Structure formats: C-alpha cells, structure tokens
Amino acid sequence: MTEAPLYTALLQHQEKHMAPFHTPGHKCAPNALPTNLLRLDYTELPDTDSLFEASGAILQAEKLAASLFGAKRTLFSAGGCSLCIQAMLRLACPSGGTVLCARNAHRTAVNAMALLGLQPLWAMPNNILYVLNNSTKSINACYVTSPDYYGRLLNIPALAQACKHRHIPLLVDNAHGTQLAFTNPDLHPLHLGADMTADSAHKTLNVLTGGAWLQIGNPRYVPGAKSAMSLFASTSPSYPIMASLDLARAFLQEHPEAFTPVQQQVQHLEQAAAAHGITNVSDDPTRLSLRTSDIGLTGAQAAEIFRQNGVEPEMADGGYVVFICTPWNTAENYRRLEKTIALLPAGKPLPKLPELPELPPVRIPLRKAVFSPSRSVPLKQAVGRIAAEAACPCPPGIPVVMPGEEVTAQAVEFLSGYGFFSLRVL
C-alpha cells in the first residue's frame, strides 16, 4: 500500500494493546458492534430513509430511542453532541436573546452562540442557581454542562424548578452523561427536569464516534427540532453511525443493568485510590476522575505513568486524570488500572490552586468578538484589550476570559501562572 500515515498510526496504536479508558465507549471491543458496518455504509435510498425527512426506518429508530429514554422526541445526530448543542440553542432562542450560561461551557456552545447571535450571561457553575433565582436581567434560556468532564454534577432538579419559575428552558450539555439513565440512581438530566439534553452517546456507549442524541423533554420544542438539527448538519450523515445509535438503544433495552458491574468496578477503584491517598472527584458513578495533585503529581505526570503501564486515560491536566469506564472494558483493563494506581509515587500534595479572578467586564457582544479581525499578541500586551478567544486553564477548566470581554491585569497574571504566553485580541 502507498503511504497512509493516519491509518498506519491507528494500526500502530492498536498494536500496543493499551487498556482503553477513553472515548469511544465501545472501546473497539469485538462484541460491542457488528463487524459488518463497513458493508452497510449506504446512503439515502428508498429502503433506508433520510435523516432530515425521516418517515421510515430512521423515524422508527428515533421513536424507539425516545421511548427508552422517556423523551417526548429523540433525534439522531451523526455530527456529535456539538450538532445537538447547536440545535438546542437554536430551538430555545429562535429570535436571539440572552442565555444564562455556566462558565465551563464547551467551546462548541460558545461557537454556536456566536453563530446564532446569542449573548451569554456567564455565571460560575456553583453560582448559576443563585443568578437564576436573583438576576433581574431578561434571560431567554439557561444552559449548563452536567456532568462536566470530571463527572461532577450540578443540582439539575433545583435548576429546573428555578427555570420553570422564570418560564425559560433548561438546556443541559449532557455530553458525558448518556449512561446516567442506566445507573443506580438514575441521574440523567432529562429525568431530573431538563427541557432538552445533548447526549454524546459515542463517549460512553457502543456507538461509533460522532453518534449522539438530542433528547427533548418539553413538547414545545418538538415541531421545530428536525429543522434546527439540519441547520448546522452535513447532508450526508453516516449510516453506520446512525445504525450504531440504533444498536446501542437495542442493547440498553435488552441490558438495562449493563452499567451495574461498571459502577461496582469504579467503586472498587475509588477505594483503591483512596487507600493510596487520591480522591475520585466524580459524582458520575461510572467515571474515575483522580485528583493526583493529592499525592504531588500533576495529572499529566500521572497519565505518563499510566501509559507506561499500558493504561490510556481519557484526559489529564494540571491536577487530575480522568478514566471513562464502560461495559466494554475488560476485567484485565481494570486490573491494570488498579495495579498502576498502586504504583504512583506518593508525595506531598501540590499547592492549592489560586482563586480564579472575578468575571471580567463584557465590552462587546460575543458574536462581534468572534467574527471581527483579531491577532495574537504576547500576553502582557493583552491587558486592557478585548479578547477574541477564550483562555481556559485546566484545572479548573473554566475560562478566565471569553471573547468580547476585557482582558484584565488580574486575568493576565493568572494566565501567566498557568504558562499562557499569548492571546488573540481585537
């Protein structure tokens, strides 16, 4: 074969036989999906229905998914949860407006708001309920991420109640939480009162990368949903991806307890980590988010040790390593993970993180900041200018500055402590 560097890289990675604690949820396990999906890579044919004009097999598959999740409507996405997030925001605010947003929003939400001309009103995740209950500003929707990347959950029932009180929808980026409908207790945000959720099914289920569901709980948003999804989507959605969504639904229908052994494994690993002085900060009972700073290791340092021992984590940053566990991880995978936790060198905890600076003043609308000409400048020269991009140190995974906000001296000082050297400004 002529040179095919990406294909070769994938094969070489496969040869390493790492224990996969990262997305996609199927872990490339031979029992997760049928192996004939390549031979089923068809397109819109009279027999196969059409995603955005669904009236046959796709509509039927979507209805079965809605019934499993108890949604008023479930829509397939072959463009990831990003497409579902774009559609949620479009449906909630068709004529523009202000979205009260938890500050840890994924960049896909920030980009979608810029594209749709929506203005975020930012609040810290732990303060959003207070702002919702007390802000006198006009707000058209509330948007939160729960669980976050580390598996931490917000109080969705309380947020849903506050949103009801204000007559605005609660939109939840549930990218990391599709499986929460199948944990004990059921923690899926749709079941806790959210109006819509964007579920990145491929992250935690036996779904091909790119497969996601938009779950609608409030019937008001059903009629416009397909059109909102098609606004940002490719006109060539992958049938293997959509078929994998259908198969994952069928699997969960047949095996609603599939995540019970995963919860047990995670609980066991959490205890093993605690015995080694490390806290699991995840509220999601299927996720292990180890705060390795507890024993003096950055997440990146710990991740390197995990890799050397044949364990591939999902994510590592300055203080944490995150492991995604699904029914397609093997007992051997878990054994390797547990063994490596015990090998981590334990020292003094890393110093506590400095407090995030206050939210900076908004100078121009998000959309204008994103679409205006901008240039990268050395960080120190950014003071007093308007940011054209977000700057997000991890942890805590919360941007210090967002597009359209003034870059304050405090923000620059904080960011330089995290090794930022430059920033794009207007």
Ligand X SMILES: Cc1ncc(COP(=O)(O)O)c(C=O)c1O
- Containing 423, the helix (H) or strand (E) segment is strand 422-425
Question: For ligand X, which residue of 58, 212, 387, 391 counts as binding (CB under 6 A)?
Answer: 212
Which is nearer to ligand X, 140 or 178 (by Cβ)? 178
List 279's β-bridge partners, or say none. Answer: 291
From residue 142 to residue 171, the character string flagging contacts with ligand X as x (rule: CB under 6 A) and all else as - is ---x---x----------------------
CB 376, min distance to ligand X, A: 24
From residue 170 to residue 199, the character string flagging contacts with ligand X as x (rule: CB under 6 A) and all else as - is ---x-x------------------------
Residue 81 touches ligand X, criterion: CB under 6 A: yes
CB 55, min distance to ligand X, A: 26
CB 378, min distance to ligand X, A: 30
Determine the Cα–Cα distance for residues 115 and 106; give it in Å rounded to an integer: 15
CB 398 within 8 A of CB 356: yes
CA R_g for the chain: 22
CB 219, min distance to ligand X, A: 25
Give one DSSP letter per residue of 384-413, joined into a string: TSBBSS-B--TTTT--SB-TTBB--HHHHH
Cα 127 to Cα 5, 141, 145, distances in angstroms:
47, 16, 13
End-to-end distance of the chain based on CA atoms, in angstroms? 47
Residue 320 touches ligand X, criterion: CB under 6 A: no
**Which structure tokens are listed for 367?**
């959309």
Helix (H, G, I), strand (E, B) or coil at 36: coil
CB 211, min distance to ligand X, A: 8
Question: For ligand X, which residue of 86, 108, 140, 206 counts as binding (CB under 6 A)?
Answer: 108
Which is nearer to ligand X, 91 or 382 (by Cβ)? 91
CB 326 within 8 A of CB 19: no
Question: For ligand X, which residue of 20, 24, 25, 80 counts as binding (CB under 6 A)?
Answer: 80
CB 80, min distance to ligand X, A: 3
Which is nearer to ligand X, 111 or 161 (by Cβ)? 111
Q: Which residue has the tokens 């991806």?
A: 241
Peptide bond into 147 cis (omega under 30): yes
Binding region for ligand X (CB under 6 A) out of 76-84, 91-99, 304-312, 324-332: 76-84
**Which structure tokens are listed for 81?**
């949860």
DSSP 391: B
Which of 44, 76, 114 has its CA nearest to residue 233?
76
CB 84, min distance to ligand X, A: 8
Binding region for ligand X (CB under 6 A) out of 74-82, 118-126, 299-307, 406-414: 74-82
Contact residues: ligand X, CB under 6 A: 80-82, 106, 108, 145, 149, 173, 175, 200, 212
